[in-house]
Amino acid sequence: MFPPVPNPTTGPQSPKFGEKDLIRRSASTVTPPAERQTEVAKLIDVSKCIGCKACQSACIEWNDTHPELETNTGVYENPHDLTPDMFTLMRFTEWENPETNNLEWLIRKDGCMHCEDPGCLKACPAPGAIVQYSNGIVDFVHENCIGCGYCIKGCPFNIPRISKVDHTAYKCTLCSDRIAVGQGPACAKACPTQAIVYGTKEEMKKHAEGRIADLKSRGFENAGLYDPPGVGGTHVMYVLHHADKPEIYAGLPNNPKISPIVEAWKGATKYAGLAVIGVAAVSGFLHYLVNGPNRVSEEDEEAAERFTGDRSS
**Under rule CB under 8 A, which residues in 276-295 are in contact with other proteins?**
276-277, 280-281, 284, 287-288, 291, 293-295
CB atoms within 10 A of CB 27: 15
Which of 32, 50, 70, 146 touches other proteins (CB under 8 A)? 146
Instruction: Output the CA torsion 57→61→131→268 (10° steps).
Output: 40
On the CB side of 236, CA atoms within 13 Å amount to: 27
CB of 307 to other proteins, least distance (A): 7
**Under rule CB under 8 A, which residues in 157-186 are in contact with other proteins?**
158, 162, 167
C-beta closer to other proteins: residue 14 or 294: 294
Would you say 118 and 15 are in contact if contact means Cβ atoms under 8 Å apart?
no
Rounded Cα gap, residues 284 and 276, in angstroms: 13
C-beta closer to other proteins: residue 102 or 294: 294
Which of 148, 200, 232, 254 touches other proteins (CB under 8 A)? 148
Which of 8, 127, 192, 210 touches other proteins (CB under 8 A)? 127
C-beta closer to other proteins: residue 5 or 162: 162
C-beta closer to other proteins: residue 66 or 164: 164
Rounded Cα gap, residues 223 and 218, in angstroms: 10
∠ CA 151-66-191 to the nearest 5 degrees?
85
**What's 290's DSSP letter?**
H
Tell whether residue 105 is a contact of other proteins (CB under 8 A).
no
CB of 39 to other proteins, least distance (A): 26
Which of 19, 36, 70, 307 touches other proteins (CB under 8 A)? 307
Residue 92, phi then psi, degrees to nearest 5: -105, 130
Tell whether residue 311 is a contact of other proteins (CB under 8 A).
yes
Q: Which stretch binds other proteins (CB under 8 A): 49-57, 197-205, 210-218, 299-307?
A: 299-307
**Under rule CB under 8 A, which residues in 247-266 are in contact with other proteins?**
259, 261-262, 264-265
Closest CA to 135 of 203, 63, 44, 200: 200
Would you say 82 and 160 are in contact if contact means Cβ atoms under 8 Å apart?
no
CA distances from 171 to 132, 238, 246 (A): 14, 18, 22
Q: Which residues bind other proteins (CB under 8 A)?
A: 27-28, 125-127, 144, 146-150, 152-153, 158, 162, 167, 259, 261-262, 264-265, 269-270, 273-274, 276-277, 280-281, 284, 287-288, 291, 293-298, 300-305, 307-309, 311-313
